[in-house]
Amino acid sequence: MIEVQDIFQQYGTEYRKKHKLSLAQLKAMSAIEKCRTSQLGGHIDKCENCGSTQTSYNSCRNRHCPKCQSLAKERWIDSQKNNLLNIGYFHVIFTIPDTINLIVYQNQRELYTLLFKAVAETLSELASNKKYLGAALGFTSILHTWGQNLMHHPHIHCIVPGGGLSSIGKWVSSRKKFFIPIKVLSRKFRGKFIYYLKQIYYKNKLKFYGTQEYLCNNNEFEKLISSIYAKEWVVYCKPPFKQASCVVEYLGRYTHRVAISNNRIINIENDNVTFKWRDYKDSSKCKLMTVSADEFIRRFIIHILPSGFMKIRHYGLLRNRNKNTKLTLCKHLTNTPILLEEKISALQLIQKITGRDFSKCQHSGSDKLSRCTLFSKSPPTVLQTA
Tell me the C-alpha to C-alpha distance, in Å, between residue 19 and each of 114, 182, 264, 301. 28, 42, 26, 12
Q: What is the pTM of this model?
A: 0.88
Tell me the C-alpha to C-alpha distance, in Å, between residue 248 and each of 270, 366, 384. 42, 35, 24
Q: How does pLDDT run along the chain (386 residues), one tens digit per residue?
A: 899 999 999 999 999 999 999 999 999 999 999 999 989 888 787 776 776 777 878 889 999 999 888 777 777 877 777 888 988 889 999 999 999 999 999 999 999 999 999 999 999 999 999 999 999 999 999 999 999 999 999 999 999 999 999 999 999 998 778 889 999 999 999 999 999 999 999 999 999 999 999 999 999 999 999 999 999 999 998 776 766 667 777 777 777 889 999 999 999 999 999 999 999 889 889 999 999 999 999 999 999 999 999 999 999 999 988 888 999 999 999 998 877 666 666 666 666 656 666 667 676 666 666 767 766 554 444 333 33
Euclidean distance between the first and the last CA atom of the chain, given in angstroms as a whole number: 25
We find that the CATH architecture of domain 85-259+303-333 is 2-Layer Sandwich (3.30)
- Is residue 138 within 8 A of residue 115, CB to CB? The reply is no
Nearest CA among 108, 122, 149, 83 for reference residue 290: 149
Nearest CA among 279, 272, 269, 330 for reference residue 296: 272
Residue 105 has a CB neighbour count (10 Å cut-off) of 17
- Is residue 337 within 8 A of residue 85, CB to CB? The reply is no
